[in-house]
Amino acid sequence: MQHFNSEEEERLTHAINVAENRTSGEIRLCIEKKCAGEVIEQATKRFTQLDMHKTALKNGILIYLALDDHKFAIIGDAGIDKKVPEGFWQETKDVMVGYFKQGQLVDGLVAGIDRAGKQLKTFFPRSDDDINELPDDIAYF
């Protein structure tokens, strides 16, 4: 199931790459048609399936989107969750929803990726020996 055209996919993976080039953190985008159950539970399941809990500094972030159900969640691993200001994930979701309501799905996702990347950069700046621990492509389920 591929929802985005090649230009949109390139824009999303580029946004992930740009964000990750400033940090040791990892960002993944997970897309599926339907959400089986509660969105946060499904996002947590995908977080684990994508091995996001295995990053060295526990600083992975998953943006999960169920297209047909119009549901999404943002999950940060323990390392980043301890550091971001209270309300940050909700504020990021609110920014994204502003775009989604205008039919600008890709713009909303890029905005969420950018905000997540800035927080990662603040708390987990990129080191000279940083390696990309997870793929930057979109995970489709």
Q: For each of the domains in the chain, give its residue range(s) and CATH number, in order of start.
A: 6-140 (3.10.310.50)
pLDDT at 130: 85
Confidence of residue 1 (pLDDT cuts 50, 70, 90): low
Q: Please tell me which residue, 81 or 30, carries the higher pLDDT value.
A: 30
Confidence of residue 129 (pLDDT cuts 50, 70, 90): confident
What share of the chain has pLDDT > 90, as a percent?
Answer: 88
Task: List the structure tokens of 38.
Answer: 């509660």
Overall pTM surpassing 0.85 (yes/no): yes
